[in-house]
Structure 1
Amino acid sequence: MIEFDNVTKVYSDGTVAIEDINFEVEEGTTTVLVGPSGCGKTTTMKLVNRLIDPTEGTVYFDGTDITEMDEIELRRDIGYVIQEIGLFDHMTVAENVGTVPNLKGWDDDRIRERVHELLDLMDLPAEEYANQHPTELSGGQRQRVGVARALAADPDVMLMDEPFGALDPITREELQDEFLDIQSELDVTILFVTHDMEEALKMGDRIAIFDVGELVQYDTPQNILETPKNDFVRDFIGQDRELMKLQVTLVENVMRETDDTSVPDVEPVSPSDTAHIALSRLLETNDDRLPVAKNGRVVGVVEESDLQGTSDPTRRSV
């Protein structure tokens, strides 16, 4: 879908933002670009929609060199969400969401239908929010509108630059969870920039870790936690690697399948819950195991030893 082939960006003042970057983003996945300030992650993202062009190398979009594509049309075909959101305060929520479809020449009925569909998806019912203005919304609601606007023209690719960074921790976590749920319904390839390793592990199918213009490691969350490439990656992850492994492991990958009706009569966990959630729930009970239920039916059990022996977990299917 998106390929970076020996890409280097040097700014006019001589600053080398990124140097000889090589990686490929698979269709339908979320790739998180993570690293400290000034490492080149945002520069890398901006190359995709030609807000900047590479000094050397090539960025391919579906096999085509993006410098050969019309930059205006390219940007209209790529959703873009930024931390500052950038909504137009003089326009209603519906008008903000419909901005790109309107520029692309969609008819009014089609725009209205798409806007209502996306507002409902973002838990902002159109009958309540469509005619409000951004100044009437909370920070979390404005960010939801920003995501809806990025999705409005049904893009194949969406760029998200620190999308939840300005929000308070509780709202940020809620939006992360909501977006993961929404993502399962979308057929879109996502590049997501953050400086927060925990957010990267939570949101990404693959993670690209940058340090001063260099792509240090590109891998799955699990592999990065299991085998950090060097001391920089190890230090950037921090001291809580074992806890982070629980946060990227699904219950379904460590549970023991059973239809035994004698499992403990306590609130079950779902196969799609993380091992961290299951362990927290287990410690709250007096039982030595938890039932795992799907669609109201017990499909397995999980014990503390299962949760702490996560040898081959997979965060989610790709």
Structure 2
Amino acid sequence: MNDKSHTLEQEVSSMITFDNVTKVYPDQTVAIENISFEVERGTTTVFVGPSGCGKTTTMTIVNRLEEPTEGTVYYDGSDIQELDKVELRRDIGYVIQEIGLFDHMTVGENIATVPELKGWKQERIDDRIDELLALMDLPPEAYRDQYPTALSGGQQQRVGVARALAADPDVILMDEPFGALDPITRSELQDEFLEIQDRIDTTILFVTHDINEALKMGDKIAIFDVGELVQYGTPQEILANPANEFVEEFIGSDRTLKELQITHVKEIMQPAGVEHETHAAAVDGGDKVSEVTTASDVHVSPTDGADIALSRMIETDTEALQVIDDGDVVGKVTEQDIRSYRTATEEGM
């Protein structure tokens, strides 16, 4: 295959490709060695592993904050070494744990940084600021002219994400973006970001040391151990078939619970208005799903995890829960649905 055809194939199949990439520092420390994998467009790939394993180095090679010693990284089909470094960085959003907002600039001015560098007209910049603040659940009229020091940590991180999205990048790099937040705020921001992800067509590389965050946030997960890419796959693939003992230990012993956490109710529920013979007598006497009621009116949403559904069934001593989305009953989920889905998943692996 010639260089041109190889480039075209990369452009079609992936947004980012690592081809036998190695990074060795001047003191001969090997950060990563012979790393190869592809990142599909519009997906989130999470790099996870212990401290010093090479995950952040791998990510920052993409925007050339680090340069590979050997191998090639393709960005949208092009060798990154052939791209202008400054323009490349302006085209890639970047979110870090420390957030890095400019305290002397307003929220709006922070978000406008890259669009201004790219020469956008002011009217377009102003519209983009308002659009992103609304997307981040920060009403523009209340937050546009605030300074970062007046915001909570969670609000500052939302602004950091908005700034990364400001110039509508094809790729966003996120380095431990929620790591400094308290557990409740962190979980809320994870949920909000997953909702935002559904509305944007952006390829995301996300670094974390937390396997639970990786399983929750990633379409694909790259598990690193001391410069080596140990396993690359979907959360389901990794949980079902850990590559080795290191991956098993890193995942932990509660693999079944983790599987339930990453399985959304919408993947296993029975849609409203559909007759279901299986378990019908035990659950609702064969009624349509839309007619199902539960003793305590406890319900779940389509985006809740199967673990949440199972927990609520146990708490309320019921075998079925309504699935409600925006006030409408869209289906039901039963304990047997959860069991059947797990069995089918395991058999399919």
Q: Give me the TM-score of the superposition, normalised by structure 1.
A: 0.95
Matched, 1:180 2:211: no
The one-letter code of the counterpart of 2:114 is: V
**What CA distance in whole angstroms lies between the structure 2 residues aligned with 1:205 and 1:312?**
20
Report deviation, 1:280.
Answer: 1.8
Contact 1:31 1:190 in 2 (8 A): yes
2:340 paired with 1:311: no
Which runs of 5 or more residues in structure 2 are unaligned? 1-14, 275-287
Whole-angstrom CA distance in 2 between matches of 1:26 and 1:155: 15
- Say yes or no: does 1:59 pair with 2:91: no
1:279 aligns to what?
Answer: 310
Q: Deviations over 1:25-64 (max 9, x none)?
A: 0000000000000000000000000001100000000110
Q: Distance in 1 between matches of 2:238 and 2:216?
A: 13
Identity in percent:
68
Residue range with higher mean Cα deviation, 122-131 or 295-304: 295-304
Aligned to 2:164: 150
Give the Å deviation of 1:215. 0.3
CA distance in 1, matches of 2:267, 2:172: 29
Q: CA deviation at 1:260?
A: 3.6
CA distance in 1, matches of 2:140, 2:330: 38
- Residues 136 and 297 (structure 1), Cα distance of their counterparts in 2 relative to 1, 3 Å cut: closer
After superposition, give the CA deviation of every residue in 1:230-253 in whole Å (9 maximum; x if it has no partner): 000000001111100001112222
Unaligned runs of 5+ in 1: 314-318
2:332 aligned partner: 301
| Equivalent residue in structure 2 for 1:199, among 213, 217, 227 | 213
Residue pair 2:221, 2:234 contacting (<8 A) in 1 also: yes
Indicate yes or no: 2:110 matched with 1:96: yes
Contact 1:207 1:221 in 2 (8 A): yes
Task: Say how many residue pairs are matched.
Answer: 314
296 and 94 in structure 1: CA distance in 2 versus 1, 3 angstrom threshold: closer
Determine the C-alpha separation between the residues in 2 that align with 1:261 and 1:149: 43
Q: Which moved more, 1:124-133 or 1:189-198?
A: 124-133
Moved over 4 A (4+): 294-297
Deviates more, 1:183-192 or 1:287-296: 287-296
Contact (CA 8 Å) 1:253, 1:312: kept in 2 or not?
A: no
- The amino acid across from 2:16 in the alignment is I
1:76 counterpart residue number: 90
| Residues 60 and 66 in structure 1, CA contact (< 8 A), matched pair in contact too | yes
CA distance in 2, matches of 1:98, 1:282: 47
Task: Sort the Cα spacing of 1:296 and 1:47 in 2 relative to 1 into closer, same or farther, 3 A.
Answer: same
| Matches of 2:343 and 2:179, distance apart in 1 | 32
Question: Given that residues 93 and 133 in structure 1 are in contact (C-alpha distance below 8 angstroms), is that contact kept between their aligned partners in structure 2?
Answer: yes
Tell me whether 295-304 or 175-184 shows the greater mean CA deviation: 295-304
Q: Are the equivalent residues in 1 in contact too, given 2:91–2:170 (CA < 8 A)?
A: yes
One-letter amino acid of the structure 1 residue matched with residue 315 of structure 2: E
**d(CA) in 1 for partners of 2:323, 2:156:** 36
- Tell me how far apart the structure 1 counterparts of residues 328 and 22 of structure 2 sit (CA, whole Å): 53
Residues 1:255 and 2:250 are matched in the alignment: no
Q: Is the 8 A contact 2:290 2:330 kept in 1?
A: no
State which structure, 1 or 2, has the greater radius of gyration over its C-alpha atoms. 2
In the alignment, which residue of structure 1 is the partner of 2:228?
214
Counterpart of 2:140 in structure 1 is: 126
Q: CA RMSD in A?
A: 1.5
Residue identity matched to 1:191: L
Matched, 1:264 2:260: no
Shift in Å at residue 261 of structure 1? 4.5
2:175 and 2:210 map into 1 onto residues whose CA distance is 12
Shift of 1:299: 4.1
Note if contact 2:92-2:169 (Cα within 8 Å) is conserved in structure 1: yes
CA distance in 2, matches of 1:126, 1:293: 30
User: Which residue pairs with 2:11 in the alignment?
Assistant: none
Q: Distance in 2 between matches of 1:108 and 1:37?
A: 42
Q: Deviations over 1:203-261 (max 9, x none)?
A: 00000000000000000000100110100000000111110000111222222343345
Q: CA deviation at 1:297?
A: 4.4
1:311 alignment partner, SS class: helix
Is it true that 1:5 corresponds to 2:36 in the alignment? no
SS in 1 for 2:178: coil
Secondary structure of 1:128's partner?
A: helix
Is contact 1:81–1:159 with CA below 8 Å preserved after alignment?
A: yes
Structure 2 CA distance for aligned equivalents of residues 262 and 111 of structure 1: 49
